[in-house]
Chains A and B, each alone.
Chain A
Amino acid sequence: MRYLPKSPAERTEMLREIGASSIDDLFSTIPEEYRLKRDLNIPRQMGESEIIDHFKNAAAHNAVGYASFIGAGVYRHYRPVIIDSLVQRGEFLTSYTPYQAEITQGTLQAIFEFQTMICELTGMDIANASMYDGSTGAAEAAMMAVRITGRDGIVVARTVHPEYREVMETYAQHQEHSANEVGYGADGRIDLATLEQALTDKSAAVLVQSPNFFGVVEDIPAIAEIAHKKGALLIVSIAEAISLGIVRPPAEADIVSLEAQSFGVAPSYGGPFCGVLAAKEKYLRQMPGRLVGETKDKDGRRGFVLTLSTREQHIRREKATSNICTNQALVALMATIYMTVYGKQGIKDLAVQNLAKAQYAAKTLSENGKLLFANAPRFHEFVLQTSETAEQLNARLLENKIIGGLSLKKWYPELGNATLWCATELTTKEQIDQAAAVLTEASVATTA
């Protein structure tokens, strides 16, 4: 086996030095009847070229060469080459959690930079070193709010990503807290009047997403006022991190749960991504996950360490703020490099391009359908209502190597034939025009 650095003679020699007569001596504590006496029934050992062929073959059975208008929590953005060059350095890639600060300063300083940038972008005071993803981050934020307020109700907007809501429900059903949902109004934003009614003095938090699942930017200051009036916290989930380049940060929130996949991370069929929680400083002790802090060494030199670990499972065990241990560190590093590449000006320029592309796409595509929630502020996604079903429309687009908008029927049947579209800086005018042309044909075909 090519990864194993030992010759047969070395193995024999080592066994002799240990005083074992055969390798099976070392497995003698496994009761005889449970020892596997056959080969595992898995594919035979392959050479590197065969492995590459295996995955190239798999890749060829996925969509390759399609233009895509799907977003819905996973976004295709340009990924600068240096991200991969840097994260493939073995010193980052093959290093463990930085518990031994002296020989992990690289990882620690990078996380400190990450925490800082996340604070700057979200308008929060503190940020952790990452969570698994946006969905579990939202669930952890809700549990954090329950601990902070001592209340147990979570009020969730129906405009939060449906799969995030499902994850929150999974987490909530076994805790003793309840989650109830608040619908949206004609503008695609959470209905403020219903929200006000839904809140009680048992409500720990209101959780909204902005831009929400429809791509619409929620009125965060108004929601915050309603939540705070009832003594509940406001949690804002952000699934599209690039939006922070041009959309006002949710500064009135108490906790922000961000999915940073857009910052240089491939869609990769849904993961690995990078969740992160940011919050007001006063909630520090209830923050789950790792935190890196600045300090000095014994000679007064600046350095960084994992800190406040008395919140964490390895110290507090069943009293910890969360069970999370391994997080998404390397992906957080990718996001850090991405934010450094675009920087203060780039993140804004990029967000504006996304805005422009989506504006053009919405205008062009809605010539063959109705743009829902047209008057609310949007980032780079929009909902189109058509006479055709999503299946019909997408079948035609697929023939033209275009993956059209995502059908919303499963989650929002009340919207009829509605599809969710996304345009990013990678979407070209040509692709948009082409998709529009196919839609036109379609609507001609249906009217005929």
Chain B
Amino acid sequence: MATTEQPFVGTPRKVTAHLTQNEKLSFEISSPGKKAYKLPPLDVPEVDPAQLLGKAAREDTGTLPELSEIEIIRHFTRLSTWNYAIDLGMYPLGSCTMKYNPRVNEFVSRLEGIAEAHPYQPESLSQGSLQIVKLLQDCLIEITGMDTITLQPAAGAHGEFTGILLARAWHKSKGNARRNILIPDSAHGTNPATAAVCGYQVVNIKSNSQGGIDVAALEQIVNEDTAALMLTNPSTIGVFENQIHKIADILHAKGALLYMDGANMNALCGKTRPGDFGVDVMHLNLHKTFSTPHGGGGPGSGPVACKKILEPFLPIPVVEEGSDGQLRWNYDRPESVGRVRAFYGNFGMFVRALAYTLANGPDGLRQTTEDAVLNANYIRKKLEDVYDLPYTTPSMHEVVFSDRRQVKNGIKTGDLAKRLIDYGFHPYTTSFPLIVPGALMIEPTESESREELDLFVDAMRQIAREADENPELILSAPHSTRVSRLDETTAARKPVLRWKPQPE
């Protein structure tokens, strides 16, 4: 295995060094008069903008780059090679579910009748789009075990916003919107941020020694001021809340609701259904569980599924089937919380998520979940003797270690992560969840072969050894990238958020 001949770069089996092209900003390679476009000749009379627009006419369009097509292709292709990607290898970011993004999804989302569909074209000429919406809704309702759904929210956090508004509207319909949302200290930052945006007070609740909900304590906390508990299940340490139904009962007894952050549905699809274990309202992340690409940070899609009691409050419009079998949007829903987004949501993501669901079918979704859980447990087994495992509760789709053993050499999770880059992997999620000091949150997903997992395990074990033998190597990592350890403090203290033309 490891030889010590190349102590500086370690012995990554996955990667070797390779040239990367330098590339300036597009503005810096621009020169006046170059063009990458050609407009067809105008087939209508020319106009004089100054005359039509008067003082609203623009004189100077500002500084946009001027380049030819080949330069633009090279510019962005070169930039692209500076990125790591799922297509290059394992991307074990915990909580992010970086699974394979099937290419057929991209293909079908670009079919002319789908990509060119205008949201306001007549419903009679949108039946194909509406069928996609309807079938995806039906599939997601079945997968979650809930009663109804809206696809309108644009991402997970937007789904949380929508779901909490539903809860609020329901409480309000009973006479009192209530004051508090309970949020475990293990929750993702979007949960408390959402509660605040919806006008609720956040009541943080402490996780128990297993990283889960302390049911007895919860019973004391829930009262008539509690609107809902926002619970991630499996939790952010990858553990199924096996008291989930008890939790739901406690909430329901006080008239509160159970909101589930469904970011971790990749551990559950086809094996168990939130609707069956007491959840009232939840969101899904189509850009996690349902394979729509992350695209460097988005777009996503955050459908919200809920129980019948919340149905009257769903955002408008909702899709309905008429007696003639035609699908249509219904806007006439007096109790609706309103719209959360213009039009119907990130439709292009619905197409991809449906393509993924059809490619899997019931057996494929179940196998996917099983493989995701198998992979996480395999990594746990192969690394638990070298990294500290703060919670030994059985893991589902992700495993969370801590840097406790490495910290004694001055090495933190962020340093280990940077070193992992030299071994040809994207780092795991660092420093989240907050209940694990120095967390290494690893989610392999189902998309990794045993060979790739073994390479990852090998890299992590080598890094653990380096942490003992040569900490400096880790503290100065990565050594193989174009840039290393960027100065984030100065970036924040003296923000440079745009390029500026150099004075001549």
Contact = CB atoms under 8 A, between A and B. Distances in A.
Interface string A32-58: 001110011111111010111011111
B58 A244 contact: yes
B114 A102 contact: no
A222 to B, nearest CB: 10
Interface residues of B, number: 201
Nearest to A309: B492
A109 B495 CA distance: 15
A313 interface: yes
9 smallest CB-CB distances across A and B, nearest first, come from A330-B295, A270-B343, A59-B113, A90-B87, A45-B361, A329-B297, A120-B62, A61-B128, A270-B119
A113 B26 contact: yes
B80 interface: yes
A130 B83 contact: no
Contacts of A294: 491, 496-497, 499
Given A94-B85, A103-B421, A313 B193 contact: yes
Interface string B265-291: 000011111001100000001010000
B371 interface: yes
B416 interface: no
10 contacts: A18-B377, A34-B273, A48-B104, A82-B69, A101-B483, A166-B338, A303-B482, A312-B189, A317-B202, A343-B64
A207 B289 CA distance: 37
Interface string B76-87: 111111111111
Nearest to B299: A272
A42 to B, nearest CB: 5
Contact of A330 (B79, B298, B432): B298
Interface string B84-115: 11111001010010101110101111111111
Interface stretch (B3-11, B160-168, B250-258): B160-168
Contacts of A345: 35, 61, 66
A170 B337 contact: yes
Given A42-B361, A161-B342, A270-B119, A51 B66 contact: no
A425 interface: yes
A180 interface: no
A429 B42 CA distance: 9
A110 B497 contact: no
Contacts of B87: 90-91, 93-94
A76 B116 CA distance: 8
B341 A136 contact: yes
A415 interface: no
Contacts of A92: 76, 80, 83, 85, 295-296
Interface stretch (B46-54, B218-226, B400-408, B466-474): B46-54
Contacts of A26: 370, 373-374, 377, 394, 396
A102 B342 contact: no
A90 B154 CA distance: 22
B500 to A, nearest CB: 8
A305 B491 CA distance: 8
Given A93-B293, A174-B168, A337-B76, A51 B65 contact: no
A307 B25 contact: no
Interface stretch (A148-156, A192-200, A353-361, A434-442): A353-361
A301 B410 CA distance: 26
A57 B129 CA distance: 11
Contacts of B198: 174
A31 B190 contact: no
Interface in A52-103: 52, 54-64, 66, 68, 70, 72-74, 76, 80, 82, 84-98, 100-103
Contacts of A4: 364, 367-368, 371, 446-447
A229 interface: no
Nearest to B480: A102
A60 B129 CA distance: 10
A285 to B, nearest CB: 10
Contact of A248 (B34, B58, B297, B357): B58
Contacts of A173: 338
A399 interface: no
B131 A394 contact: no
B189 A104 contact: no
B10 to A, nearest CB: 16
Given A52-B107, A60-B128, A317-B192, A20 B142 contact: no
B304 interface: no
Nearest to B34: A343
B347 A269 contact: yes
B53 A112 contact: no
A112 B25 contact: yes
B83 A322 contact: no
B363 interface: yes
Contacts of B447: 3-5
Interface in B303-339: 315, 337-339
A446 interface: no
Contacts of B202: 317-318
Contact of B63 (A80, A120, A349): A120
Contact of B492 (A36, A169, A246, A307): A307
Contact of A42 (B142, B168, B355): B142
B348 A136 contact: no
Interface in B174-214: 188-190, 192-199, 202
A105 interface: yes
Given A101-B483, A355-B49, A323 B193 contact: yes
A40 B270 contact: yes
Contacts of B345: 270-271
Nearest to B371: A4
B318 to A, nearest CB: 14
B448 interface: yes
A180 B144 CA distance: 39
A195 to B, nearest CB: 18
Nearest to A278: B498
A21 interface: no
A109 B65 CA distance: 14
A245 B199 contact: no
A371 interface: no
Contacts of A227: none
Contacts of B371: 4, 6, 11
A132 B341 contact: yes
B125 A66 contact: yes
B245 interface: yes
A293 interface: yes
Contacts of B488: 295, 305, 307
Of B86, B120, B192, B344, the most chain A CB neighbours within 10 A belong to B120
B115 to A, nearest CB: 4
A102 B484 contact: yes
A280 interface: no
A386 to B, nearest CB: 17
B39 A326 contact: no
A303 B491 CA distance: 10
A41 B142 contact: yes
B232 interface: no
Contacts of A295: 486-488, 490-491, 496
A346 B499 CA distance: 20
A48 B393 CA distance: 39
Contacts of B160: 323
Interface in A286-312: 290-299, 301-305, 307-310, 312
A309 B190 CA distance: 13
Contact of A113 (B27, B35, B56, B80): B27
